[in-house]
Structure 1
Amino acid sequence: MNSPFSNARKGFPLVWRLSLCSAASTLMNPACADFLQGSKSSLELRNYYFNRDFRQSGVAQSKAEEWSQGFILRLESGYTDGMLGVGFDAIGLVGVKLDSSPDRSGTGLLNTERGPGGRAEDDYGELGLTGKLRLARSTLKVGTLLPRMPVVMYNDSRLLPQTFRGAWLNSSDLDNLSLDLGRLDQTNLRNSSDNEDMSVFNGGSRNIRLGSHATSDRFDFAGATYRWVPALSTAYHYGELEGMYQQHYLTLNHKWTISEGQTLNSDLRWARSLDEGNSNVDNSALGAMLTYSARGHAVGLGYQRMSGDTGFANINGTDGYLVNLVQINDFGNQDERSWQARYDYNFAAVGIPGLTFMTRYLSGDDVTVRNRAEGGKEWERDSELGYVIQSGPLKDLGLKWKNASARSNFSSDIDENRLIVTYSLALW
């Protein structure tokens, strides 16, 4: 059996050199105490059972069902003393198969052989290294990255998180203003051990067409977020997947405290995606989510509208930053109009801290489906029940059950259950 980290160094020489040089210079520097004092590490355990039933689709494989165990080790150093601080981070990811078979593989939990009926590997993994430099309140990271911004959101919805390789500069030297600038050249999907070029997600009825090049090794991004007051922030982000698409993204977030214990949160988003020479991408995405919270209860209403010649554009494998991105769907198909009703309850309000419940319903219509005269329709219903132990020897052990049902007149009907047990341990 190959080691889960057998491919970790492949295509990664720059990061290894930078990280090793950073470590060597640090250990020889008298400021090593600051480097070590600011370091921290943790181990996260994820036990994940996934069952998706799509027998109504009529395909040969009627369901996907697997069980797995994940290990996520995070190491973060401090910075050396002085004007220019040097440090490095590392992340180790290992996924282990507990139960699977070729007739029910493909849950996204495990690394699976390509093609229908592929067999899941016994284990897989990744070792990522990141060198970092800090000057005042600006930080440059080069290596393995986990970006979270509107134009690129790494996916962490399965056993292990998706990672990227690249460089990312973040600056907050100006009060209330955060600036981002960077480039990504490879991605490692959530159930993979290998870095690979990036592509555009084209599931459902996105209706995106690509030219002669289906992948790209360059995604450039930039962004600015300004906090006007503690309760109000606005942001602009730009992303460009070379040869595929470019995207402009505007966001506004506001929290209004109505009275003690009562708040109204507003989340407004607008994105404009255009082709970049090798596709037909043309999409405008408008989204709004309003959430009223009081005494443990939270009620949310969301609306999302797609317009243009295609659906929403995002890097394959990532989470598209949409207000109606939920457990199974994101309702980002061409011309789709969708709304969401959501309810949350935190049982801490009645003396049971750690226990939470959520349920939501979404409905979408007006989808442009190729070779069909009538518009496509779909709906999804989700529920989640979670508990995190608050004290005792099992403190911070989390248990979550996620249930979803989705129905559509242009894609497979799906019923899904996920059982997730998590535990995080601070090593130092």
Structure 2
Amino acid sequence: MNHIRFMPASLLAGFALPLVAAPALADFIDDSHAKVELRNHYINRDFRQSNAPQSKAEEWAQGFTVKFESGFTDGPIGVGVDAMGQLGIKLDSSRDRRGTGLLPFGPDSLEPADDYSELGLTAKLRASKSVLRLGTLQPILPVVVYNDTRLLAASFQGGLLTSQEIDGLTFNAGRLTKANLRDSSSRDDIGYGAASSDRFDFGGGTYAFTPQLNLTYYYAKLDQIYRQQFVGLVHTQPLGEGLSLRSDLRYFDSRGDGAERAGRIDNRNFNGMFTLASGAHKVSATFQQMSGDSAFPFLNGGDPYTVNLVTYNTYTRAGLDSWQLRYDYDFVALGIPGLSFMTRYTDGRHARTATVDNGRERERDTDITYVVQSGPLKNVSLRWRNVTFRSGNGLTNSLDENRLIIGYTLALW
């Protein structure tokens, strides 16, 4: 286990800014805040094939994440520091039930770890309406989205500049060099699949023409592996009487770069989601079309920024065309605040792999979530997620899965 020792804001300020006068530290301390996030996660995955390497994967674990974010010192260039400590503890698992993504396991022994932990520090500088962050990063951008679907969240190491100097435009540029995966305490070289790289460079931004319409463009390059362009358009159209239509269109063009260490990359991914909202109801329909000779590439430690990224599957194989129907309901309309329901069905066809020419994948997800509204357990969230995944033409294993997740966030100050 990596032992983590958390420091209060005053000590962090003292270490980070030993030469700054006390009056300049006022905003650094007064604007700071800290919180602890608790996540109890149970996954039971039942494989449906008789020849599957495991009959099931089943693990239960408790996660703790403490986050501290300072304000900025006064002056033309403000200085700040953020810190994040994560700890995962095994509650139940074994070598024959490993592999849910909750816990790391030994490469030789295959025994799940009893615990694992990670500490991340981020320095930040602010000038005018621009902020530079150096260290641990968890970006949510079209070309890099950190994974937060298990016990502990993934993170990256590098630098990120965010600027809003031009009204309506949010610009981001950066470089990532390391990745800390969701079930790991190590910092690995940035990469895709089994291939690694020295750096991942990216830049782009979103311009809001109106509050209802924005356009996004990004360019990214994973050195010697792939380069990628993204264009996205989001539009929300009020239709009157509490009704609205949201259109979210996304296009990626991905090609190989340099030595192409992960093999030939050749993928165009056009996908979109249309959501009709009326009061407590939301109905969504999506499409996702893959063209080119390879799967859609995205960073290890991240998730694809695509509309058909669902609970188990990503629908990013070469040639895979997929669609989804989704329904959401908020029970506040029936006088039960805090209770919500979601169900969706996603179907993909024409997938190509080295051994399959016309594979099919389909998944049904159902979520029921309740957030306690009052009493000593106020803000505790309980979620049950049920998954049925099936594949055809020998593409991959089919499975049934249940996840139970209990979460709570406590503000420390």
> What's the TM-score bracket when you normalise by the shorter of the two chains?
over 0.9
In structure 2, do the counterparts of structure 1 residues 21 and 180 end up closer, same or farther at CA, with 3 Å as the change threshold? farther
1:241: which partner in 2?
A: 222
- Quick one: distance in 2 between partners of 1:92 and 1:347? 35
Shift of 1:110: 1.0
1:33: which partner in 2?
A: 26
In structure 2, do the counterparts of structure 1 residues 316 and 71 end up closer, same or farther at CA, with 3 Å as the change threshold? same
Matching of residue 366 in structure 1 with residue 350 in structure 2: yes
1:399: which partner in 2?
A: 382
Shift of 1:34: 1.3
For the Cα contact (< 8 Å) 1:57–1:412, is it kept in 2?
A: no
- Quick one: distance in 2 between partners of 1:244 and 1:399? 41
Q: Secondary structure at the match of 1:103?
A: coil
- Quick one: distance in 2 between partners of 1:19 and 1:225? 33
In structure 2, do the counterparts of structure 1 residues 255 and 201 end up closer, same or farther at CA, with 3 Å as the change threshold? farther
1:200: which partner in 2?
A: 192
Matching of residue 348 in structure 1 with residue 347 in structure 2: no
Gaps of 5+ in 2: 7-11
- Quick one: distance in 1 between partners of 2:321 and 2:353? 14
> What letter is aligned with 1:54?
F
1:223: which partner in 2?
A: 204
> What letter is aligned with 1:344?
D
2:9: which partner in 1?
A: none
- Quick one: distance in 2 between partners of 1:322 and 1:235? 14
Shift of 1:220: 0.4
* Percent identity (aligned): 48
Structure 1's consecutive aligned runs of 4 or more residues displaced over 4 angstroms after TM superposition are: 18-21
Q: Secondary structure at the match of 1:309?
A: coil
- Out of 343, 349, 365, which is 1:382 matched to? 365
Matching of residue 423 in structure 1 with residue 403 in structure 2: no
1:48: which partner in 2?
A: 41
Give CA-to-partner distance per residue, 1:7-60, whole Å, 9 cap, x none. Answer: x9xxxxxxxxx998633234x442111111100000010000011111416133
> What letter is aligned with 2:325?
A
- Out of 323, 327, 334, which is 2:311 matched to? 327
- Quick one: distance in 1 between partners of 2:15 and 2:197? 30
2:294: which partner in 1?
A: 310
Matching of residue 101 in structure 1 with residue 94 in structure 2: yes
Q: Over the residues paired in the alignment, what is the CA RMSD in angstroms?
A: 1.7
Counterparts of 1:38-187 in structure 2, within 5 Å, are: 38-56=31-49, 58-114=51-107, 118-187=110-179
For normalisation by structure 1, the TM-score amounts to: 0.91
For the Cα contact (< 8 Å) 1:4–1:94, is it kept in 2?
A: no
For the Cα contact (< 8 Å) 1:75–1:91, is it kept in 2?
A: yes
Gaps of 5+ in 1: 9-17, 203-213
Task: Report which stretch shifted further, 235-244 or 50-59.
Answer: 50-59
For the Cα contact (< 8 Å) 1:267–1:289, is it kept in 2?
A: yes
1:207: which partner in 2?
A: none
- Quick one: distance in 2 between partners of 1:275 and 1:19? 44
- Quick one: distance in 1 between partners of 2:273 and 2:50? 32
Counterparts of 1:291-306 in structure 2, within 5 Å, are: 291-306=275-290
In structure 2, do the counterparts of structure 1 residues 20 and 241 end up closer, same or farther at CA, with 3 Å as the change threshold? farther
For the Cα contact (< 8 Å) 2:83–2:120, is it kept in 1?
A: yes
- The structure with the largest strand share of the pair is 2
Q: Secondary structure at the match of 1:113?
A: coil
Question: How many residues in Structure 1 have an aligned counterpart in Structure 2?
Answer: 403
> What letter is aligned with 2:171?
L
For the Cα contact (< 8 Å) 2:379–2:409, is it kept in 1?
A: yes
Shift of 1:106: 1.1
- Quick one: distance in 2 between partners of 1:35 and 1:82? 11
1:266: which partner in 2?
A: 247
- Quick one: distance in 1 between partners of 2:106 and 2:160? 33
In structure 2, do the counterparts of structure 1 residues 249 and 40 end up closer, same or farther at CA, with 3 Å as the change threshold? same
Shift of 1:370: 2.2
> What letter is aligned with 2:2?
S
